[in-house]
Amino acid sequence: MALSFLFFILFIASFFGKNGLIEMYRSKKRHDSLVMEIKQLRQEKAKLEREIEELERNPGAVEKTAREKLWLMEPDEFVIIKKDNKEKKEKDTTDINPDQ
């Protein structure tokens, strides 16, 4: 009886203990998600490094980036903002109230 109780305790500890199967599964899942995050961050880093190299080599790229991201313009220029049709359609459908 005592021996079977001991085996039962060991069995429970192997699943729920500090180094049990459930904790190992959680650790493996966390490891996999961190590996995926590292891969994505490395891709983003490589993209940013290419962008930096392009900006260092090409003065036209600096101007293009400044215009696109910072909305910089020459003194004699002005910016025209065009609404996206998708946004307009979404707005149009939200304005309709079926209860009226």
Q: What is the DSSP string of 13-81?
A: HHHHSTTSHHHHHHHHHHHHHHHHHHHHHHHHHHHHHHHHHHHHH-HHHHHHHHHHHH----TT-----
Q: What percent of the chain has pLDDT over 70?
A: 79
- The answer to which of 12-16, 20-24, 27-31, 76-80 has the lowest mean pLDDT is 12-16
pLDDT on residue 24: 81
Can you give the pLDDT at residue 41?
A: 98
> Global pTM?
0.51
pLDDT (0 to 100) of residue 71 = 75
